[in-house]
Amino acid sequence: MDIDGKYYKAYKKRLKMLEQQQSKEKVKKQHDKGKLTARERLDLLLDEGSFEEVDAFVVPDTLGIEFGKVEKYFGDGVIAGHGKINGRLVFTYAQDFTIMGGSLGIVHANKIAKIQEMALKMGAPIIALIDSGGARIQEGIASLSGYATIFNNIIRSSGIIPQIAVIMGPAAGGAVYSPALMDFVFMTSYTSYMFVTGPNVVKEVLNEDVSFEELGGAEVHAKKSGVAHFIYDDEENTILGLKKFLSYIPSNNVENPPTVEETGKTPDINNKLLDIVPDDPNKAYDVKEVINNIVDKGSFFEISELYAQSLVTGFARLDGRTIGIIANQPKVLAGVLDINSSVKGARFIRFCDAFNIPLLTFEDVPGFLPGIDQEHSGIIRHGAKLLYAYSEASVPKITIILRKSYGGAYIVMNSKNLGGDFNFAWPTAEIAVMGPEGAVAILYRKELAEAEDPDKLKAELVKKYRERIANPFVANEKGFIDEVIDPSQTRKKLKTAFKALTNKWVEIPSRKHGNIPL
Ligand code: HXC
Domains of the chain and CATH, by start: 14-246 (3.90.226.10), 271-434+471-500 (3.90.226.10), 436-469 (no CATH)
> Given ligand 1 and candidates 32, 137, 153, 167, which is best to mutate, with the most ligand atoms within 8 Å of its CB?
137
Q: Looking at the predicted structure, is the pLDDT value of residue 453 above 80?
A: yes
Who wins on pLDDT, 139 or 82? 82
**Catalytic residue numbers?**
173-174, 408-409
Cα–Cα distance measured from residue 132 to residue 516, given in angstroms and rounded to the nearest whole number: 33
Residue nearest to atom 53 of ligand 1 (CA): 174
313 Cβ partners below 8 Å, 6+ apart? 302, 303, 304, 324, 325, 326, 327, 344, 345, 348
Q: Looking at the predicted structure, is the pLDDT value of residue 513 above 70?
A: yes
> Minimal CA–CA distance to 366: which of 399, 326, 329, 393?
329
What's the pLDDT score for residue 81? 98
Cα–Cα distance measured from residue 140 to residue 88, given in angstroms and rounded to the nearest whole number: 38
> Given ligand 1 and candidates 27, 103, 192, which is best to mutate, with the most ligand atoms within 8 Å of its CB?
103
Give the mean model confidence (pLDDT) for residues 386-403: 98
- Cα of 102 from ligand 1 centre, angstroms: 8
Q: Looking at the predicted structure, is the pLDDT value of residue 21 above 90?
A: no
Digit-coded pLDDT (tens) for 266-284: 899 999 999 999 988 889 9
Cβ < 6 A, ligand 1 pocket:
100-101, 103, 133-137, 144, 147, 170, 172-175
**Which atom of ligand 1 is nearest to 147's Cα?**
54
- Cα of 234 from ligand 1 centre, angstroms: 22
Give 376-430 as a 3 state SS string. HHCHHHHHHHHHHHHHHCCCCEEEEEEEEEEHHHHHHCCCHHHCCCEEEECCCCE
Taking all residues of the chain, what is their mean pLDDT, rounded to a whole number?
94
What's the pLDDT score for residue 68? 66
pLDDT > 70 fraction of the chain, expressed in percent and rounded:
98
Window from 59-73, 149-163, 284-298 with minimum mean pLDDT: 59-73
Digit-coded pLDDT (tens) for 56-111: 999 998 766 766 677 778 999 999 999 999 999 999 999 999 999 999 999 999 99
**Which atom of ligand 1 is nearest to 170's Cα?**
32
